[in-house]
Chain A
């Protein structure tokens, strides 16, 4: 029997993802609530808490967006409960309005906001460094280096959060969140299930003049923390033998640890868990060691560096301090980059392995729409519509699996910005695009998250915009979390679905059509009508193209023992036109030595390819 990833008894050793370790820490700290909007690399934190939520009486929620997730957590904290709120780094932008006020008010029940940053931008639109949000909002920032430390630190941070009445930002990165490491489990504490709202209007109601008092309190809180954080056990100064000091924190510290071993260095090491504010006393101790050089190794922005240089000035430290002139701001660090940087600072000769360098030209392999994905047929059909009308359409796109429409053969993402921007930016383009129609693509989860305000704006200000909602009934890209249109809660419990088309109709949009995303001719003809309608009436039109995510569909079918009957290509009829491979690009259809074939093991039997084959050569296998 497989139990939840984060279940287990004190003393058990488990191989946990950083995200699971954070979740286990929260479980051991006795949280009452966890809320989140899914986003890589943060998603598994809430997912692993969902597995144990009923057992430990934790309320879990996939919120509509990150701002709401944070606000729900704040409400619970005001009621004296411990709350965990998790999101990816760009999600904090959405939550930032609430976050700034939280920095002033502080908390009652411990509150940790996990910001899962993405150095390297593996699955994000940028590499923003959210430690800056801590400085901006007076909320202390902590960075664990490894899963075990993350688990332990989260437990202690709940105590710290309550001791200083301050929310905490726990900054993770992809290489912590998505790295598995050995974690020894601790005791689980059961959180309170009843909250008691603390009525403190002078604290919670941010009105003049007491908002200035709260500002002062926030400044004092950070000052106090800075003076006391040297005793936080994850901050430490280890004396070395060399006349060199290295300051680091987060995952960067692990690269430092490996590099100094490989280079045979014995520097003083200041390992920081609290990267805002810095523990002032430990910094003074470091300066007192009088190293010739202090080297700061951190990923992305010079957050430690700027603070440390100010302290060096104040404390009259006269050694050299280097950081971002050596280590890049761009991309994640690696042990190799840290070794190269250190060897440059110290003028060391190092021998690095020369990697094997194959000369064979291989094709790139970007992610693709899955076999049976409804997005593929929608793009294919909209492209046909645009071709038939001979218009040069503009395609604002949004954030989700459907962003893959960027890649060949569709090439239908002229922009992808932030959640909901396809409608907002699309509006701005449409106002001035004259004869060029603007067709904005947005997913269901993204529509609920940030599309609705932009939709209302488009209606009220009469933007000539075609909006295609690519509805697969779930937040697919991050691993199928439910949203208000899914009809289920985080625990899979059935809920009444909120209908996208009802919201659209209620906003006053007259052109609203709901179509099966597999029906290519219907989507094509409806898109043609929508383009004409928008151009004649100068008003927005909405098409909801709906089909459950193919992965969810296939999984459900397997679970229920339904057989997915694949299709095959009748080679006697196939005219080798290549449309199925080159224009439709289903991974289940391949061509080898000019012979077209369907891979039965990955075909889920959607049959959409039968609609696009001009020779009618694709047929269902008779089972």
Chain B
């Protein structure tokens, strides 16, 4: 049984990330439920996607606070917002990016966020997927790079070949190769133990 929270800002490709993860898990023989957010809240708002999988039947679309094994955050403020979903022995994988909401009254600094993770005593892995995506020339592929990190850290029990198959099922044209490359870049990033792989 695995419960994963995907968090980020509307427009970062969270729903697509959930679809690829879910498709790959289904191809791997798991039952899957993914609860998404559609509509207005996608317009630059805070977005959360629940991914659940099991060898047995998965009934409920969502899980509760403190239950997720893994939190994948495509943005650091959103990592803090959704950290209540993570179980105490879970793993946070965060993209090293801060998107301040426009006209926001509060400014949050990166060091304060990292300090908060330390204070909470959780395992976390911060990775700069956005810079990596820009380096690859696919700025929209931050989400699939994070998928590679998720895979590389063994938070989803499926082989890379099934991720490739899922990408082929979901994407079209040149996006297939772009996303396969991005996933591999993510796997690579997960092997470079960064300073801030905190246990």
Contact = CB atoms under 8 A, between A and B. Distances in A.
Nearest to B24: A15
A362 B80 contact: yes
B62 interface: yes
A356 interface: yes
Given A336-B65, A365-B101, A40 B44 contact: no
A355 B65 contact: yes
A181 interface: yes
B40 interface: yes
Given A2-B172, A175-B62, A182-B32, A353 B101 contact: no
A122 interface: yes
Given A13-B26, A359-B119, A585-B102, A367 B44 contact: yes
B14 to A, nearest CB: 13
A254 B40 contact: no
A404 B106 contact: no
Contact of A358 (B10, B36, B62, B120): B120
A352 B65 CA distance: 9
Contact of B32 (A176, A180, A257, A367): A180
A178 interface: yes
A253 B59 CA distance: 9
A478 interface: yes
Contact of A365 (B63, B77, B112): B77
B113 interface: yes
A17 B37 CA distance: 11
Given A335-B60, A362-B81, A585-B103, A181 B32 contact: yes
A369 interface: yes
Contacts of B119: 359
A369 B43 contact: yes
A146 interface: yes
B43 A363 contact: no
Contacts of A552: none
Contacts of B78: 365
Contact of B38 (A40, A254, A335): A40
Contacts of A365: 9, 44-46, 77-78, 81, 101
A242 interface: no
A38 B119 CA distance: 46
Interface in B75-116: 77-78, 80-81, 83-88, 100-106, 108, 112-113, 116
B70 to A, nearest CB: 14
Given A175-B62, A254-B59, A582 B172 contact: no
A441 interface: no
Nearest to A477: B40
B34 A122 contact: no
A194 interface: no
B43 A367 contact: yes
A403 B40 CA distance: 10
B64 interface: yes
A363 B106 contact: yes
Interface string B145-174: 000000000000000000000000111100
A182 B10 contact: no
Contacts of B116: 358-360
A353 B69 CA distance: 13
A178 to B, nearest CB: 5
Contacts of A589: 102
Main secondary structure of the interface of B (DSSP, over half): mixed
B34 to A, nearest CB: 4
A592 B116 CA distance: 21
Contact of B40 (A40, A361, A587): A40
A178 B62 CA distance: 11
Contact of A334 (B43, B46, B64): B64
A475 to B, nearest CB: 12
Contacts of B59: 145-146, 253-255, 257-258
A353 B3 CA distance: 14
Contacts of A590: 100, 102
Task: Name the residue among A40, A43, A181, A369 with the largest chain B CB count within 10 angstroms.
Answer: A181
A404 B101 CA distance: 14
A363 B113 CA distance: 13
A583 B187 CA distance: 42
Contacts of B26: 13, 15, 182
Nearest to A588: B102
A30 to B, nearest CB: 27
A499 interface: no
Interface residues of A, number: 65
A11 interface: no
> In which size bucket is the chain B interface?
35 or more
A307 interface: no
Nearest to A259: B60
B65 A178 contact: no
Interface in A5-41: 13, 15, 17, 40-41
A595 interface: no
B33 A353 contact: no
A155 to B, nearest CB: 21
B87 to A, nearest CB: 6
Nearest to A478: B39
Nearest to B76: A362
Given A181-B32, A356-B86, A408 B122 contact: no
A180 B36 contact: yes
Nearest to A14: B26
A357 B65 CA distance: 10
A17 B18 CA distance: 12
A178 B127 CA distance: 30
Contacts of A355: 65-66, 84-85
A582 B103 contact: yes
A368 B40 CA distance: 9
B67 interface: yes
Contact of B19 (A15, A175, A581): A15
A366 interface: yes
A254 B172 contact: no
Given A15-B23, A334-B64, 14 more contacts: A2-B171, A40-B39, A175-B62, A336-B64, A356-B83, A359-B116, A363-B108, A368-B43, A368-B44, A369-B43, A408-B103, A478-B39, A581-B102, A586-B102
21 contacts: A17-B36, A122-B39, A123-B38, A176-B61, A180-B22, A180-B32, A180-B34, A251-B60, A258-B60, A334-B62, A356-B66, A360-B80, A360-B116, A362-B106, A365-B77, A366-B45, A367-B42, A367-B43, A404-B43, A479-B39, A585-B102
Question: 9 closest pairs, A vs B, by CB?
Answer: A353-B66, A40-B39, A367-B45, A355-B65, A336-B64, A179-B61, A254-B59, A367-B43, A355-B66
